[in-house]
Structure 1
Amino acid sequence: MLRTLMTSSSTALLLGFSLDALAQHTANEPVPTPPPNATDQTPAFEGQTRAPSLGEPPALEITPIAEGLDHPWGLAFLDSDTALVTERPGRLRAVDLAAGTLSDPVAGVPTVDARGQGGLLDVSLHPDFADNRRVYLSYAEARGDGANGTSVARGVLSQDHSRLEDVEVIFRQTPAWVSTKHFGSRLVWDDAGRLYVTLGERSLTEPRQLAQQTDSYLGKVVRVLEDGSTPEDNPFANGSDGAPAVWSYGHRNIQGAAWQSESGRLWTIEHGPRGGDELNVPAAGKNYGWPVITYGEDYSGAPIGDGITAQSGMEQPVYYWDPVIAPGDMTFYHGERFPDWQGDILIASLSPGGVVRLTLDGDRVAGEQRMLESLGRVRDVDTGPEGALWLLTDASDGALIRVTPEEG
């Protein structure tokens, strides 16, 4: 088994910062990054971006557990010995965490549309999985004539992990669109057994406008019950002012989400354009602005819309990044291996890569740290057995990796 030791000093060199510059860097300064793309934009409040650096991370031990995965996307631990991993081309695998072996593809997985950013995306276990063995999958589903959308299906996993049975689709994003981008999508359960699904706005100029319309499921967080039905206390549950499953709207492309049990709230992280990645705490019926307000700019360098970052009736992000971190998934760390990280947010980064750690002071970001950039595109991050940090690297030869403190 390959084993690599990575320190923050070596990752600083990989990012292009000298050791002398790192040594001169103080904890009160932000993490060293290039200047923002949108130089004329200013944060709405102090600490909304470029929070103070938390300094160097601890020396970390990186252990690849399973390799040869084709663009892995989602991760769920069945127990301390086995995990499920999705591969974007449409395969679900069981991983023996001790041996590092991959099962044959699990049978019964729905057919996916694996073009562009599409394919098999997240995997999540029902809160009562130990009793009912229900597994939930999100994926890009073809809808005919080149159109597609994000769907959620559930099935019962066989005891030998070889197949899903009684598979049924419980939610479909509408309207379908001819696009291969911005599907979302994370699956997160709250403490009452309700399922949140994050949905992209399909990227193109025309469908992105529907993020502002509550009667569509583009650019939304939706909340459903385990069978896909609508909770009675959803903000538009009666369907008169919006689609019944909508929880919040005005989002771009949320690929990371986590439930914070201490506060009883969902937190999300979404891709901005060129700059403007956002950390939010989506509240019922609230509008998070896209594409009317946003930080950052379009990929051409032109402003998005009128180039404004605030408007009455639209929520500000808790935190934003410019330049981007290109966020994958996120998690609140609760484990024994990293006692100083309790309750902190850990975010998978696709660019520049690695993991971003945030400390919180209530609902505000108090500090930021970058680590493990040498791993490249990290798609998923989770706390696993015995409090280790587990990562999925997004590549044609991707890996499931365990991260622990360096011993000694």
Structure 2
Amino acid sequence: MSGKIQFYTFIIFAGSIVSCKNDAVDLPPQVQSATVINNEISALTARIKFGLSRESDAVVEYWPASGSEGEALRSAVSASKINHSVALFQLKEKTAYNYKVLIADESGNRVAAGDVKTFTTAAIPDWLKTFYSESENSIQESLPGYYFVVPSIKPNGLFLLDKTGKIAWYWSPPAKYAIKTARLTPKNTVLMLLDENGTPFGDGNIILETSLAGDTLSYFRMGEKGFDKSVHHDLQMDAKGNIVAITNEFQNNLPGDGLLMLDSQGNKVWEWSIFPELTNIDPSNFAQPWGNSLVIDKDNNYIVSFRALSQVWKIHAITGKVMWKLGQNGNVKMPEGSHFMFQHFAHRNGNNEIMLFDNGGAARPSTRVLSFALNETTLETTPRINIPFSSTLYSPIMGSTMLLPDGTILSASATNGKLVKTDKTGNIIWTLKAAGPIYRAEYVEGLF
């Protein structure tokens, strides 16, 4: 009899264990710990790291502590796991924010996984406030995107302006680095060329890829793996995640340019040198040929601007063959008066035209925005856009221009520190002014 009692007691006890376990599974996951990462490097973003009591996807809802929860923004969904790291964007400096973690209940509704918590953002660094004053720059823009600005100062960083002219995001490196150039990638990450050696002009020795939240995704240093040449002026990421960059090349102590492709691990995939294409090099011209912009064309080949040659080349991405040379002494036919001088930021615009920032020079001290319809079979051009800038916007070095989705044009008058939006006839719609040179600016959408 006592054996039966012990047996039934065991069944009851075992059942209570199963019941407790089921109750634990049915309980919604709760936040066990949370840490906020926010500092002056990127005060307008934050990283919330938290652990849950069990696996679940999660989002973070956040709003100014002085405001209403009804104004809350939500992060992207973090996939199901125990430990999460979630980026928050569109923050304001020196502001207290409330936030809470939300998980999905059995019905798919978002419910809180813990109490409301608070953090306060850092201040925007002094260099950026000195370089760009929000109080002196105000626009009203109908386009939904942002303006990605690359200053040419030190200390420096990168920043995005919203459609009202306010700073929406920035990234500022440690003081020992200078950002020489930067591009947004197809993954909406930021690809940068950094210099830690005080190298003049546009040269750098570090390639860095970060997320918009500041997470380091790739870091390559010159001299390691396939990164065996100095990079200068521009770099891009292709659809496969490879990095293509303009490099310094030398032959018989004469300067030239090249292209280098690295894979996502920093291994060399492909390289190209300009020297087979240059039969007569002027040894007194230290700047020749001075590649200053690189873009990946719609057919995945490369469009490269060579400033000292006043030419834009298209280079085959596999064979390295030069497919055409647009500009002075090139092989593309151009109407009289359409040649450019010392250009920057040559690319194919949304109207399928080759567009560039025509800097001008001593022989013609004026800057223009130009575009050409180029027949790549007959190698003939038809001029499309020709906007001469006033003398106040003359920029003999650096600069950029691009066609916007609404048919207007954004230009960076680099040495004047101005961003200018014009119509196709050159009428100025708005101007934003910085306190120093702007290397280039681009319009971007769909970042956050």
Q: Is the 8 A contact 2:218 2:264 kept in 1?
A: no
Q: Is the 8 A contact 1:270 1:327 kept in 2?
A: no
Q: Is the 8 A contact 2:181 2:233 kept in 1?
A: yes
State the alpha-carbon separation in 2 of the partners of residues 331 and 194 from structure 1: 20
**In structure 2, what is the equivalent of residue 140 of structure 1?**
248
Q: Is the 8 A contact 1:256 1:329 kept in 2?
A: yes
**In structure 2, what is the equivalent of residue 253 of structure 1?**
342
Q: Percent identity?
A: 13
1:315 deviates by 11
State the alpha-carbon separation in 2 of the partners of residues 189 and 265 from structure 1: 14
Structure 1: which 5+ residue stretches go unaligned?
Answer: 13-56, 113-118, 202-217, 237-241, 289-313, 335-341, 389-408
Among 413, 423, 428, the alignment partner of 1:367 is 428
Write the letter of the residue equivalent to 1:280: L
Alignment size in residue pairs: 268
1:379 deviates by 1.4
**In structure 2, what is the equivalent of residue 345 of structure 1?**
409
- The one of the two structures with greater contact order (alpha-carbon pairs below 8 A, sep at least 6) is 1
Write the letter of the residue equivalent to 2:412: A
Q: Is the 8 A contact 1:85 1:92 kept in 2?
A: yes
Write the letter of the residue equivalent to 2:315: V
**In structure 2, what is the equivalent of residue 271 of structure 1?**
359
**In structure 1, what is the equivalent of residue 389 of structure 2?**
320
State the alpha-carbon separation in 2 of the partners of residues 379 and 90 from structure 1: 18
1:230/1:247 CA distance change after superposition, 3 Å:
farther
State the alpha-carbon separation in 2 of the partners of residues 358 and 315 from structure 1: 15
Q: Is 1:10 aligned with 2:136?
A: yes
**In structure 2, what is the equivalent of residue 329 of structure 1?**
400
What SS does structure 1 have at the residue aligned with 2:136? Answer: helix
1:167 deviates by 3.4
Q: Deviations over 1:295-317 (max 9, x none)?
A: xxxxxxxxxxxxxxxxxxx9994
Write the letter of the residue equivalent to 1:152: L
State the alpha-carbon separation in 1 of the partners of residues 207 and 333 from structure 2: 29
Q: Is 1:358 aligned with 2:358?
A: no
Structure 2: which 5+ residue stretches go unaligned?
Answer: 1-42, 44-122, 139-162, 195-202
1:267 deviates by 0.5
Q: Is 1:223 aligned with 2:314?
A: yes
1:355/1:180 CA distance change after superposition, 3 Å:
farther
Q: Is the 8 A contact 2:312 2:346 kept in 1?
A: no
Q: Is 1:90 aligned with 2:180?
A: no
1:178/1:157 CA distance change after superposition, 3 Å:
farther
The two structures, once aligned, show a CA RMSD in angstroms of 3.8
Q: Is the 8 A contact 2:305 2:344 kept in 1?
A: yes
1:100 deviates by 5.8
What SS does structure 2 have at the residue aligned with 1:253? Answer: coil
Write the letter of the residue equivalent to 1:141: E
TM-score where L is the length of structure 1 = 0.55
Write the letter of the residue equivalent to 2:237: L
1:90/1:84 CA distance change after superposition, 3 Å:
same
Structural mapping, 1:6-405, within 5 Å:
10=136, 58-68=164-174, 69-80=177-188, 82-87=189-194, 88-99=203-214, 101=216, 104-106=219-221, 107=224, 108-112=226-230, 120-126=232-238, 129-130=239-240, 133-145=241-253, 147-158=254-265, 163-169=266-272, 171-172=274-275, 174=278, 175-176=280-281, 177-181=283-287, 183-201=290-308, 218-227=309-318, 228-231=320-323, 234=324, 250-261=339-350, 263-273=351-361, 275-282=365-372, 284=374, 317-323=386-392, 324-325=394-395, 326-334=397-405, 342-360=406-424, 364-374=425-435, 376-384=436-444, 386=446
What SS does structure 1 have at the residue aligned with 2:422? Answer: strand
More strand per residue: 2
State the alpha-carbon separation in 1 of the partners of residues 286 and 205 from structure 2: 15
1:150 deviates by 2.6
Q: Is the 8 A contact 2:369 2:386 kept in 1?
A: yes
Write the letter of the residue equivalent to 2:210: V
1:74/1:65 CA distance change after superposition, 3 Å:
closer
